Amino acid sequence: MKYSLRRIRLSYLAWFRYTRYFNHSMTCSNRHLAKWGLRTGQFDIISHLKEGERVTQSELASRLAVTNSNITQILSKLEDAGYIQREQEWKTKYISLTPTGVALRNEVVPAQEQFRAEQFADLTEDELEQLIQLLKKANQGVYQE
């Protein structure tokens, strides 16, 4: 499909602004999460596990939209810190939060949610809903090879 020069430039500008925002946001999140000794990838895992829940590594990778190999190293660090436990049953690896991990989750998830709310303080609820819908729609145009 052929696009006008204006559309091409606007698309590039939108991508540029989004990546700038994303990179800056990740830096800020990592700085905020450092209070708990976490980085964003570790937080993502902790926040996607619920107390008493036992999920396979594949299920967790699917929830986070990453590959099994991408989360293996992060899981090792969380296990070494005592936040998760991994159990292997034949070929399947199960992940669950330890009591220490549950306590961390109960503290860090609300703090990170509040931190994010502060980052979007200049947007109204309607604007936030619109942003969510626009990002969902833009994501449909992204393809993986």
pLDDT recorded at residue 26:
95
pLDDT in tens, 18-61: 999 999 999 999 999 999 999 999 999 999 999 999 999 989 98
For the chain, how are helix, strand and coil distributed in percent, rounded to 5?
A: 70, 10, 20
C-alpha to C-alpha distance for 107 and 97, rounded to whole angstroms: 14
pLDDT in tens, 59-77: 998 888 888 788 889 999 9
The domains of the chain, with CATH numbers, are 5-115 (1.10.10.10)
C-alpha to C-alpha distance for 98 and 9, rounded to whole angstroms: 49
Q: What is the CA radius of gyration of the chain?
A: 18
Edge-to-edge strands, sheet with 54-56: 54-56, 92-97, 84-89
Which amino acid is present at 52? G
Mean pLDDT of all residues belonging to the chain: 93
Per-residue pLDDT at 4 exceeds 80 = yes
Q: Which residues contact 68 (CB under 8 A, 6 or more apart)?
A: 57, 58, 61
pLDDT in tens, 80-99: 999 999 998 888 889 999 99
